[in-house]
Structure 1
Amino acid sequence: MKKANKKKIADDLQPEYDLSKLKGGMRGKYAKRSAERERMKILLCNACWMKRYTGVSKDDIPRHGGGYVRQHGYGHEAINFMPHAGFVYGFVQLRTKTINISRIDPDAGDKVDNVLVVWRARSNEGSVVVGWYKDATVYRELQKPVSGRSFAYKGETIRPRWVVRAKASDCFLVPPHQRVFKVPVTHKGFGSQTFVSFLEADTREVKEFKDQLLDYISQAERGVFVTPRKGKIRTGRSGEKGEDRESRDKCYERLLH
């Protein structure tokens, strides 16, 4: 088999692909990849729908954010993708003001590191992935506002609290027209707490969803946006990093080599 053909098999490999069909080293490589993916710490977090998440403006009004957004006109996630001193700080609405991070890592204390945090929001087509933080730190409790981090709304200065922190260079915001990957808000087996999901269930459905999600992220960071088993949707390096576009070429290495 030619090298190019082997690469195509690697790129197109689906979770249910029979590894016995691959020879020696390739079979071992993808068995290792599968094991590494199963060990990954992943958290899905709800957010309202916005274009940029860098503050509320006339052309970027929060939508589909639940009761708080309907009442106040904004959500604290309005600047989830606005860098501040080299970091991004993420807010997710928490009914009890805590995240049970022991479901991410049983040994977690007040926080857990090295988490892939995936942000989802409701579009007119349903709940979709809007962006993610890699190597994020997730805190058990809501944290106090960071000094100097704020946004303006109707003459008022809003200083959001937060519960997730990551380097700005490790975040990726999917452009609105490329948000094509649908994700359950709550689903049996997906290990959901209100507004967040842990993907902790040891089921084929969850494993396949994680594989599809990680494949989507890997390809999106290369400018290719796909949905599971439906092929290419759009191409082009149009993803927006948390920092300026000069940092695009310093993109965080792929989840798995």
Structure 2
Amino acid sequence: MATVIFCNIAWMEYYMGITDSDKPHNGGSWVGESNDAMESRNFQPYQDNCYGYVQQKGYTLKLERLDKTAAKADVLDDVTVVWVAKGEEGSRIVGWYEKAEMYRECQEFDDGSCYYFITKAINAYLIPVKKRDFRMPRASQAGKGRGMGQSNVWYADSDYAKSEYIPQVLEYLKKLENTVAITGLSNEDNGDICKHFK
């Protein structure tokens, strides 16, 4: 089974930078006050890659939660990153990375922004808003180990997550692969995004 991690980020339509018509929201107090979010470019290809950020307390990710042999590793390969955000109808899966590298420490760009995940742009799928219909449970309601808790990162390493929830998610993503193109945009949506950023 794939190595899967769930990351909660602010809600946006395209995640290709902040524009007048696409601003991050439901991303916590800092996002609300600053109208900014480092994850705002999670699906904007740069040199054929996509770079993913999630706000994490302590600024480190626990690779060993996904792979016990990675306790001393700085990077973990071949990770499926499922991006989750809260929209008007609750928390939904908004996209995912396949075959991603996951770093323990945030990797910085020259401009001070940083990322925890990197994948080829052809392995990054952004789900159009109208197709974001897979609900993400919250542990406070579903129970411990059955959804995301207060942290923005859920390692989904409970028996329930491994045996039941993750297989459901992977089946859902597999069905979507045929309806989305590079960085999750269908041909129709690709036309829209070009108009959006002109």
TM-score, normalization by structure 2: 0.84
The change in CA–CA distance for 1:62 and 1:191 in structure 2 (over 3 A counts) is: closer
> Is 1:117–2:81 an aligned residue pair?
yes
Structure 1 counterpart of 2:17, one-letter code: G
Gaps of 5+ in 1: 1-36, 148-157, 224-238, 247-257
Between the two proteins, the alignment pairs up a number of residues equal to 181
The superposition leaves residues 12-52 of structure 1 with CA deviations (integer Å, 9 ceiling, x where unpaired) of xxxxxxxxxxxxxxxxxxxxxxxxx3xx2100001100000
Please point out which of 163, 173, 194 is paired with 1:217: 173
Please point out which of 91, 109, 112 is paired with 1:127: 91
The equivalent residue for 2:129 is 176
> Is 1:103–2:103 an aligned residue pair?
no
The equivalent residue for 2:117 is 164
Maintained 8 Å contact 1:173/1:242 = yes
Structure 1 counterpart of 2:7, one-letter code: C
The equivalent residue for 1:57 is 19
Which fold has the larger relative contact order, with Cα–Cα distance below 8 Å and residues 6 or more apart in sequence? 2
Q: Segments of 4+ in structure 1 off by > 4 A?
A: 190-193, 243-246
Supply the distance in 1 between the matched residues of 2:148 and 2:94 (Cα, whole angstroms): 19
Q: CA deviation at 1:183?
A: 1.1
Q: CA deviation at 1:222?
A: 1.6
The change in CA–CA distance for 1:181 and 1:98 in structure 2 (over 3 A counts) is: same
Structure 2 counterpart of 1:195, one-letter code: N
Q: CA deviation at 1:58?
A: 1.1
Supply the distance in 2 between the matched residues of 1:243 and 1:201 (Cα, whole angstroms): 29
Q: CA deviation at 1:243?
A: 8.4
- Percent identity between the two aligned chains: 33
Structure 1 counterpart of 2:172, one-letter code: Y
Please point out which of 157, 161, 183 is paired with 1:200: 157
3-state SS in 2 of match to 1:132: strand
Supply the distance in 2 between the matched residues of 1:57 and 1:192 (Cα, whole angstroms): 29
Maintained 8 Å contact 1:190/1:206 = no
What is the RMSD of the two structures over their aligned residues, measured on CA atoms? 2.1
Q: CA deviation at 1:112?
A: 0.5
> Is 1:47–2:48 an aligned residue pair?
no
> Is 1:143–2:107 an aligned residue pair?
yes
Supply the distance in 2 between the matched residues of 1:69 and 1:58 (Cα, whole angstroms): 15
Maintained 8 Å contact 1:116/1:133 = yes
Larger Rg: 1
The change in CA–CA distance for 1:47 and 1:81 in structure 2 (over 3 A counts) is: same
Q: CA deviation at 1:202?
A: 1.5
The range that moved more, 81-90 or 191-200, is 191-200
Gaps of 5+ in 2: 188-198
The change in CA–CA distance for 1:140 and 1:190 in structure 2 (over 3 A counts) is: farther
Q: CA deviation at 1:123?
A: 0.9
Q: CA deviation at 1:160?
A: 2.1
Structure 1 counterpart of 2:158, one-letter code: A
Maintained 8 Å contact 1:86/1:168 = yes
Structure 2 counterpart of 1:56, one-letter code: I
Supply the distance in 2 between the matched residues of 1:242 and 1:75 (Cα, whole angstroms): 19
